[in-house]
Amino acid sequence: MRYRIYCYKELPSTNTEARRLAEEGVGQGTVIVARKQTAGRGRRGRTWASGENAGIWFSLVLKPDIPAERASTLTLVAALAVARAISRVTGLEPLIKWPNDIVLDGRKVCGILTELSAEANSVKHIVVGIGINVRSQEFSEEFAGHATSLTAEGAKSFLQGALLMAVLEEFEDCYGRYLKTLDLELLLTEYNDCLVNRDRPVKVLDPAGAYLGIARGVNRRGELLVEREDGVVPVSSGEVSVRGIYGYV
């Protein structure tokens, strides 16, 4: 994939700008980076604190030829790419909290917001927005109790640009593997090896009623397999979120 990278001093949200440009017809591989976001967005309508140079805030435009229902798995693909890149560039060993938070020492260091635009069940474009806390000390209220930064976790010194390039390189590899099968088959072992909740008790916050179980890893569709007394339930992201029974992980 050929990346075209546009750097801004300040934007309300790189996702919003990427989506606007995608509507205007920019190609797959367009990357929008901002040093600062004034209205950074998280999942479920949360805000994402994105101070000047406190982290890497960027969005990537994708135009895969896939049915819309396959698109949410791309978030897991992006999470794996970020985990690999952080490990390569900083020497730290990040894990993934399903589906797509990157954690260090049980705290969130990166969030991913994937936004889909579809027409009649086929994908028009997907914007994958990635926020990596590099040296942030202030976090949005919703994340404050369980957020951290690469610097706070003892990353060796690195250039932010080098980490961005590493994420894009790793994403290219992971995305290529994803496109071969349109699922996680070729990434499954690696993803599950990174899963912070694996074989741990979790609480599934299902709008239809919360329940407890043991997380056993994800399947090819990216669903989290949660073992309950009555059997194993595949949990899909979206409405449902998963917590550790004692807190965030």
Binding footprint of ligand BTN on the chain (CB under 6 A): 13-15, 37, 40-43, 46, 48, 50, 57-59, 101, 111-113, 129-131
Q: Which amino acid is at 94?
A: P
State which residue, 97 or 198, has the beta carbon closest to ligand BTN.
Answer: 97
CB of 140 to ligand BTN, least distance (A): 9
CB of 33 to ligand BTN, least distance (A): 9
Residue 161's CB is within 10 A of a number of other CB atoms, namely: 12
State which residue, 3 or 211, has the beta carbon closest to ligand BTN.
Answer: 3
CB of 15 to ligand BTN, least distance (A): 4
CB of 136 to ligand BTN, least distance (A): 11
For 185, the token pair is 């088959």
Q: Is 76 helix (H, G, I), strand (E, B) or coil?
A: helix
- The gap from C-alpha 54 to its chain's centroid, in whole angstroms, comes to 18
Instruction: List, in order, residues 6 or more apart from 154 with CB less than 8 Å away.
Output: 92
For 17, the token pair is 């700008």
State which residue, 211 or 248, has the beta carbon closest to ligand BTN.
Answer: 248
CB of 204 to ligand BTN, least distance (A): 18
State which residue, 48 or 175, has the beta carbon closest to ligand BTN.
Answer: 48
Q: In this structure, what DSSP letter does residue 39 have?
A: S
Closest residue to ligand BTN, Cβ-based?
111
8 A C-beta contact, residue 82 and residue 175: no
State which residue, 21 or 112, has the beta carbon closest to ligand BTN.
Answer: 112
Q: Which of 158, 93, 170, 173 is nearest to 130 (CA)?
A: 170
